């Protein structure tokens, strides 16, 4: 039983679980905001435009009746929506608009976060580390301004990258195993020598 609670505690304290919980809570609150914007601001405008163009009550009155029931069985008093069977196209269109708004705002938020992360990453990459400053100083590089420091740091990083790639290639060549054909060719060459 102790192991179960220990494992549960480890699971709950993982960062991604907490992030997910925060995301769900914020998502619920955000959905309420978008629904309010859709139902209280956008839908009245859309209904007003539809009423001007088509006439009627806009999306609020867009139904396809499968079975109509009238109030007190009198068509003059109107349709009894509580007892009728109908397809509510207006509610469907409102749900689509809600979805599109949520997707748009989520896209804008994620895009802003990604751009901020890129800016932070780019800023961190451009600044020389303490080790790089020490290497530049040890190499006798005298830097007068930030621009020059940035250029020299970029040169140092390019040199390190080229050196690392060359070392990786040399290591790959050293660890490269000969193919079956190459081994057979070597054996054949040794046999011909004898």
Check if the beta carbon of residue 91 is closer than 8 Å to that of residue 38.
no
Query: Residue 88: exposed, middle, or buried by beta-carbon count in 10 A (0-12, 13-18, 19+)?
Result: middle
* Per-residue model confidence (pLDDT) at position 60: 66
66 φ, ψ to 5°?
-95, -35
* Per-residue model confidence (pLDDT) at position 126: 66
Can you tell me the distance from the alpha carbon of 95 to that of 105, in angstroms, rounded to the nearest whole number?
A: 15
Q: Which two tokens stand for residue 28?
A: 């619920």
* Per-residue model confidence (pLDDT) at position 124: 64
* Per-residue model confidence (pLDDT) at position 15: 64
- Where residue 145 falls (left for φ over 0; alpha for ψ -120 to 50; beta otherwise) is beta
Residue indicated by tokens 């163009």: 53
Check if the beta carbon of residue 71 is closer than 8 Å to that of residue 77.
yes
- Where residue 68 falls (left for φ over 0; alpha for ψ -120 to 50; beta otherwise) is beta
**Tens-digit pLDDT profile for the chain (194 aa)?**
788 878 877 776 766 777 777 788 888 887 888 778 877 888 788 778 877 876 766 666 777 888 888 888 777 777 787 788 888 887 888 788 778 877 887 788 888 888 988 888 776 666 767 777 777 777 777 766 666 767 777 777 788 888 888 888 888 777 777 788 888 888 889 888 87
What are the structural domain ranges in the chain?
A: 127-194
HEC profile of 20-61:
HHHHHHHHHHHHHHHHHHHHHHHHHHHHHHHHHHCCCCHHHH
* Per-residue model confidence (pLDDT) at position 123: 67
């Amino acid at each position: 039983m102790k192991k179960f609670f220990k494992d549960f505690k480890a699971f709950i304290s993982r960062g991604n679980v907490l992030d997910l919980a925060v995301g769900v809570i914020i998502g619920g609150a955000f959905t309420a905001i978008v629904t309010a914007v859709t139902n209280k601001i956008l839908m009245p405008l859309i209904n007003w435009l539809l009423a001007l163009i088509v006439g009627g009550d806009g999306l609020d009155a867009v139904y396809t009746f499968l079975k109509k029931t009238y109030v007190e069985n009198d068509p003059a008093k109107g349709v009894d929506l509580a007892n009728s069977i109908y397809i509510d196209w207006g509610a469907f269109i409102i749900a689509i608009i809600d979805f599109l708004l949520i997707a748009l705002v989520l896209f804008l938020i994620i895009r802003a976060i990604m751009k901020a992360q890129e800016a932070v990453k780019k800023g961190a990459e451009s600044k020389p580390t303490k080790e790089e400053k020490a290497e530049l100083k040890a190499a006798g590089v005298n830097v007068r301004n930030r621009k020059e420091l940035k250029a020299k740091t970029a040169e140092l990083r390019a040199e390190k990258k080229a050196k690392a790639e060359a070392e990786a290639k040399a290591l790959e060549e050293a660890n490269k195993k000969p193919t079956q054909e190459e081994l057979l060719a070597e054996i054949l060459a040794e046999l011909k020598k004898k």
